[in-house]
Amino acid sequence: MSSDDALIEIVDVTKAFGAGERRFLALGGVNATIRKGEFFTLLGPSGCGKTTLLRLIAGFELPSSGEIRLDGQEIGHLPPFRRPVNTVFQNYALFPHMTVAQNIAFGLEMLGKPKAEIAATVERMLTLVKMTELAGRRTDQLSGGQQQRVALARALAPQPKLLLLDEPLSALDLKLRKEMQVELKRIQHETGITFIFVTHDQEEALTMSDRIAVMSRGQILQIGTPREIYAHPTNRFVADFIGETNFLRAAVKGGRAVLGPGVELPLAAGTADGEVTLAIRPEHIRLVPEGAAGALSATVGDATYFGTDSHVHLTLADGTGIVARQQTDPEGTQGPQAGAVLGVTFPPSAVQVLED
Amino acid sequence: MQETEATREAAQVRRNWLLSLPALCLLAAGAIGPLFIMLVYSFLTPGKYGNVEWIFSLDAWRGILFTRDIFDDTLKLADAHLTIFWRSVRLSFMTTVFTFVVGFPTAWFIATRAPRWRAFWLFLITIPFWTNLLIRTFAINQIIRNEGFLNTALIKIGVISEPLNLLYTDLAVFVGMTYVYLPLMVLPLYAAIERFDHRLLEAGYDLYASRLAVLRRIIFPTVKPGIIAGSILVFIPSLGAYVTPRILGGGRNMMIGNFIDLQFGQGRNWPLGASLSVLLLVVVTAALLIYVRFANRDGGHG
Amino acid sequence: MASRTFVAARLPGFSTIAIAVFIALYLPIAMLMIYSFNAGDSIAIWDGFSFQWYERAWENDKVKEVTIRSLIIAASAASISTVAATMAALATTRKKPFRGQTGIYVAINQPLMVPEIVTAVALLIFFASVKVATGYQGLGYLILAHSAFCVPFAYLPIRARLEGMNLTLETAAADLYATPWRTFRYVTLPILAPGIVAGMMLAFVTSLDDVVITLFVKSAGQDTLPTYLLAQIRRQVTGEVNAISTVLLALTVILLTTFFLLTRKRS
């Protein structure tokens, strides 16, 4: 990762709330570099520290230790109004006593921009978010989706180096959310501004991001592109939080994982002997006739039909429960019956060794 | 500008105190501080023409209950004082009970109106609450005085031939206080009844309760915090009433408030006035503390 | 046999009592107002409609004098107490609780808990010494006393408004480059304004209506409208008092209606 295209560098940042017995460590030593022009997502369950990290970058909280650098300059201790960073708030936080246009102009006015420039920028922003007709409306007369657009325009108007979005889509219904996801990508593309997006929705993260940081309990567990995160999760939490995963215990012997009698998988070089946890996605499990070469024997529990595919619950000989996803075939053939005994195989490339 | 959490928080607390300072100064000079000076005055000796002499004395405190006999200088119970205290407590208590008896149905009535009418009825109760107490008392005075509307009407229809002497009686004070303090009872009762879950009534009737049983066993216990709040809100100003007994009770049917006033006028006994005020303050504060304890306890298992 | 739907919330006699209460509440005030337009000087016999009492009150120099004094005191006290209450409300609302905050809250609400006569007597004692010591006899004492007891009345609606305000709005302003002062000036204050106006109106009404504290604090010749009325009521009552009371009542009702419209929750 070259540092000359780095916009934000987060170095060993910790954040604790309260003191003494009530002390709570919201962030415990976080490191990350966010590149210029990137759509970067902080993904994790509620309470994982993703919003805290966002608020530290915005300046609403001060870090307990560590540094936040913007373009190489330490900004961690600047008040929010001195940082070229703007935020789209979860509930938009539009000023109720101002019109749409006044809301958008606010940041520019505070920066002391000339009137003509403000008017032009507001006009441009209204066009960008497709709200030109509603410029004179009061914000409490807008729908959720419209408020969302105004909040976005307001935060973009001062042309920040970095836009922070705190679960901006969580208050919208599903259809509107899908629409706004597309819109956000378009706007980011048009403006070229770096976005840091906070969400707990893994699907949203996968579809929108250039890179994702998965967070849990105040730590960043893995940073990578959506493909990397999904295909090569490095630990159990990431594998489990993103998509569905089966976990298998296996003994490692001479660089091969031994899953059962005669079922061995090659592992990446350098894997030490011992016990490991393997992760495998349901769609990568193949169902074969019992006794096929290299197949583990499994008993079918029940199958749930989902239209495009079925989820088949299986129990392995050692009692481990796994789920396999089977595409519905064009003939609409009935899937495996409960109680049947089958063989399961895993393509070696689909198996991930987890760090635990 | 290097800021840390600690400096930011300290600056915040300092700013909060600075912001509160004007209000605190106003209250210290114009309300709270003088109370302490009053406490000091209650231990001084009355001056000949009002005010005080700076000589320590417990006479003012003794004087609340006892008078010194002018002939043999012995202490005896001050009957006149006891009469005034008794009247104050009795009238305040009667006012509290009666405002509850008529206030509860009123609050119930408002709370059971359709939501869009509720605000209207509530507003009707709130207007008297905020309008001038003096004018409202004066309105009662005009109705019941000898040449007033009530007597004139009664004479005209021949029920009486001589006007009834209603003004300047305990009854007049009671009627007046009930009239002026009624909204103070209705408003907290309404607040409690509005939160009341009306399905509880149906449950009560379903379990064979009569209307009276529902009232006693279901409604009153559930709205008890409102009843206590209303009672305190009526009892406290009644006990310290000054304007109403002055306009409707006249000089002879004094309550504590008027008796205190007297010490600063014709009585020329500022220390006694001060000790009586301190006493009234202590009683009222005690009542409030009891209320706070009740309110917290009832709030606990809501 | 006639049957009536059983309504659980209906309690026998309650509506009757309630209606009687409303009539009893308004009848005396209504009579007072009606007889302010009486052509005769009785308070019980109607002699026809006239504005004579209003005219007399208008021409009465004493009434003019005390009215102006009342308005000066109420305007000053309302302004002073509203500024102080707004600042205090900003300090004691929505923030992380700090040591002493409860104390400030109790102090602000103290005038609501202490009987007026007690405060009045305490102020009489205090100001008597100050008057001797400084020789100053002016309206300052009344304005100070009124400002103090008006603080909680101004404070309550402002605090309520602040508590209903979304804290993120201020964060958003800071995010959009507004310094703390500009955040207050352009975001907090405009949103708070209806609460401040409401608080000021309550303070104004409270000051305008005060009798007891004024009675004990005022120096000779400093009657306000209420203390003047009190003195008049003890003498032979004329319709002039009714006329003045009616105007005062009307003023209060107008201010209160505005107050309710201002503080009404927006749908």
Tell whether A139 lies on the interface with C, counting CB pairs under 8 A: no
Identify whether residues A22 and A105 lie together within a single domain.
Answer: yes
Question: Chain A neighbours among C 169-188 (CB < 8 Å)?
Answer: 169, 171-179, 182, 186-187
pLDDT category of residue C225 using cuts at 50, 70 and 90: very high
* C174: nearest CB among A79, A97, A111: A79
Alpha carbons C4 and A23: distance in angstroms, whole number: 64
| A74: closest chain B residue by CA | B2
Two structure tokens written together for A326: 């089977």
Q: Which of B284-298, C120-134, C237-251 is most confident?
A: C120-134
Question: Chain A neighbours among B 3-42 (CB < 8 Å)?
Answer: 3-5, 8
CATH number at residue A39: 3.40.50.300
In CATH terms, is domain C60-263 a member of 1.10.3720.10? yes
Question: Chain A neighbours among C 189-218 (CB < 8 Å)?
Answer: 190-191
What is the DSSP code (8-state) at residue A329?
P
Kindly determine whether residue B5 and residue A78, on different chains, have CB atoms separated by under 8 Å: no
Identify whether residues A154 and A183 lie together within a single domain.
Answer: yes
Range of the domain at A158: 3-237
| Average pLDDT, integer, range C213-240 | 88
Identify whether residues A125 and A203 lie together within a single domain.
Answer: yes
Strands A321-327, A341-345: pairing kind: unpaired
pLDDT the model gives residue B160: 87
ipTM here: 0.88
With a cut of 60, say whether residue C3 has pLDDT above it: no
| Average pLDDT, integer, range C121-148 | 94
Kindly determine whether residue C121 and residue B147, on different chains, have CB atoms separated by under 8 Å: no
pLDDT the model gives residue C9: 66
Identify whether residues A252 and A217 lie together within a single domain.
Answer: no
pLDDT the model gives residue C266: 47
Identify whether residues A24 and A87 lie together within a single domain.
Answer: yes
Kindly determine whether residue C172 and residue A111, on different chains, have CB atoms separated by under 8 Å: no
Alpha carbons A205 and A238: distance in angstroms, whole number: 13
Least trusted range by pLDDT, from B173-177, C30-34, C44-48, C105-109: C44-48
pLDDT in tens, chain B (302 residues): 455 677 878 888 899 999 999 999 999 999 999 999 999 999 999 988 778 889 998 888 988 888 877 777 777 888 888 999 999 999 999 999 999 999 999 999 999 888 888 888 988 898 888 888 999 999 999 898 888 888 888 888 888 888 888 888 999 999 999 999 999 999 999 988 888 777 777 777 777 777 778 777 888 888 888 898 899 889 989 999 999 999 998 878 899 999 999 999 888 899 999 999 999 999 999 988 887 787 666 544 33
* CATH for the B78-299 domain, from 3.90.1150.10, 3.40.190.10, 2.30.42.10, 1.10.3720.10: 1.10.3720.10
pLDDT the model gives residue C2: 46
- In angstroms, the Cα distances linking C202 to A129, A166, B204, C89, C167 are 45, 41, 42, 16, 26
Nearest-CA distance A164 → chain B (Å)? 22
Per the model's pLDDT, the better-predicted residue between B205 and C115 turns out to be C115
pLDDT category of residue C5 using cuts at 50, 70 and 90: low
pLDDT category of residue C1 using cuts at 50, 70 and 90: very low
Full-model pTM: 0.84
Nearest-CA distance B35 → chain C (Å)? 5
Subunits close to C (at least 3 CB pairs below 8 A): A, B
Identify whether residues A173 and A251 lie together within a single domain.
Answer: no
Q: Where are the domains of chain C?
A: 13-50, 60-263
Cα-Cα-Cα-Cα dihedral of B259, B260, B266, B269, to 10°? 130
Kindly determine whether residue A62 and residue B2, on different chains, have CB atoms separated by under 8 Å: no
Which residues of chain C does B106 touch, with a Cβ-Cβ cutoff of 8 Å? 17-18, 21-22
* B5: nearest CB among A64, A78, A79: A64
Provide the terminal-to-terminal Cα distance of chain A, rounded to the nearest Å. 26
Alpha carbons C140 and B287: distance in angstroms, whole number: 34
| C172 within 8 A of A89, measured Cβ to Cβ | yes
> Where a domain ends, among A188, A209, A237?
A237
pLDDT the model gives residue C236: 67
Kindly determine whether residue B4 and residue A77, on different chains, have CB atoms separated by under 8 Å: yes
Q: Which residues of chain A have pLDDT under 50?
A: 1-2
Which residues of chain C does A60 touch, with a Cβ-Cβ cutoff of 8 Å? 171, 174-175
Two structure tokens written together for C26: 């308004």
Identify whether residues A268 and A128 lie together within a single domain.
Answer: no
Each residue's pLDDT tens digit, A7-51: 999 999 999 887 777 888 899 899 999 999 999 999 999 889 999
| Average pLDDT, integer, range C252-267 | 75
pLDDT the model gives residue A243: 85
Identify whether residues A265 and A345 lie together within a single domain.
Answer: yes
Kindly determine whether residue A64 and residue B1, on different chains, have CB atoms separated by under 8 Å: no
Strands A194-199, A39-43: pairing kind: parallel
pLDDT the model gives residue B3: 58
Kindly give the interhelix angle for A144-156 and A100-110, rounded to the nearest 10 degrees.
Answer: 20
Number of inter-chain CB pairs under 8 A, B vs C: 271
